[in-house]
Amino acid sequence: MFHVKPTDPEETRALESAPSVFGARLPLAERYRDLLATDGVDHGLIGPREVDRLWSRHIMNSAVIAERIAEGAVVTDIGSGAGLPGLPLAIARPDLIMTLVEPLERRADFLRRFVDAAGLSVAVVRGRAEEPATIEAGGMADVVTSRAVASIDKLARWSTPLIRVGGKMMPIKGASASDELAKHSKALAKAGLSDPQVLSCGVGLLETPTTVVELTRTRR
């Protein structure tokens, strides 16, 4: 196992906060971190420059949105890639019913290998979010998450069919989240999503809290 010496305050803070987020499952999070730093880089899922900030920019950045997800929720993560945010969420919250959706075979295989090796109760679906087979496998979710996948209007088209009425779309976004919501407000309303909120997660745990957008599906 790799024992990283953080080189910046953000990574140090994230590493110090990790036990409070992952609890007894911290070794699994460490195992995932090590996989990202090795196979994740080799497979082009994580850039080499990201290795020294995997806790702050990726693992904890993803895991802290768990504070917005109810106990026992059905969660579908679309465009999962290296497993972000789905795998950190599944590790931190074993009560969640998690499905990872990834269209590329090599990435889906990467996810399955970790899920199987770690003994996680997580489903991996190879396919695009909008495909009928994916909707059947990962639909009627309480929450649909995503990270660094697409603009919010595209996410709305892909995510909404997977969300039950009353459920939420919760993409992780950046500092321009409010502008993006304003720009695509008509597309979001057309998709049946309302009550947009821009929220900060991990306040007090991360130097830079995670920005997540929440929208509720109000109609079919």
The most distant pair of C-alpha atoms in the chain lies apart, rounded to whole Å, by 49
- The answer to whether 173 and 214 have CB atoms below 8 angstroms apart is no
Q: Is the pLDDT of residue 138 over 90?
A: no
The CA distance from 133 to 3, in Å, is 41
Q: Is the pLDDT of residue 139 over 90?
A: no
The CA distance from 128 to 156, in Å, is 14
Q: What's the confidence (pLDDT) of residue 63?
A: 98
pLDDT band at 5 (very low <50, low <70, confident <90, very high): low
Residue 104 lies in a domain: yes
pLDDT band at 2 (very low <50, low <70, confident <90, very high): very low
Q: What's the confidence (pLDDT) of residue 220?
A: 74
Domain count, the chain: 1
Q: What is the mean pLDDT of the chain?
A: 94
The two structure tokens encoding residue 21: 């987020």
Residue 1 lies in a domain: no
Higher-confidence position of 144 and 139: 144
Residue 178 lies in a domain: yes
Q: What is the model's pTM?
A: 0.93
Residue 165 lies in a domain: yes
Residue 110 lies in a domain: yes
Residue 102 lies in a domain: yes
Residues near 105 by beta carbon (within 8 Å), at least 6 away in sequence: 126
Segment 80-92 shows an average pLDDT of 97
Is residue 195 exposed (0-12), middle (13-18) or buried (19+ Cβ within 10 Å)? exposed
Segment 60-83 shows an average pLDDT of 97
3-state secondary structure 20-69: HHHHHHHHHHHHHHHHHHHHHHHCCCCCHHHHHHHHHHHHHHHHHHHHHC
Q: What's the confidence (pLDDT) of residue 1?
A: 44
Q: What's the confidence (pLDDT) of residue 178?
A: 96
pLDDT band at 51 (very low <50, low <70, confident <90, very high): very high
- Sort residue 9 into left (φ over 0), alpha (ψ -120 to 50) or beta: alpha
Residue 67 lies in a domain: yes
Q: What's the confidence (pLDDT) of residue 7?
A: 63
The two structure tokens encoding residue 171: 């993409």
Q: What's the confidence (pLDDT) of residue 219?
A: 81
Segment 5-29 shows an average pLDDT of 91
Using DSSP bridges, classify how beta strands 163-173 and 141-147 pair: parallel, antiparallel or unpaired.
parallel
Q: Which residue's entry shows tokens 């821009």?
A: 198
Is residue 176 exposed (0-12), middle (13-18) or buried (19+ Cβ within 10 Å)? exposed
Residue 4 lies in a domain: no
Q: Which residues form the domain of 180?
A: 9-217
Q: What's the confidence (pLDDT) of residue 84?
A: 97
The two structure tokens encoding residue 30: 């460490």
Write the pLDDT tens digit of every residue in 117-128.
Answer: 999 999 999 999
The domain that holds 175 is classified in CATH as 3.40.50.150
Segment 156-183 shows an average pLDDT of 96
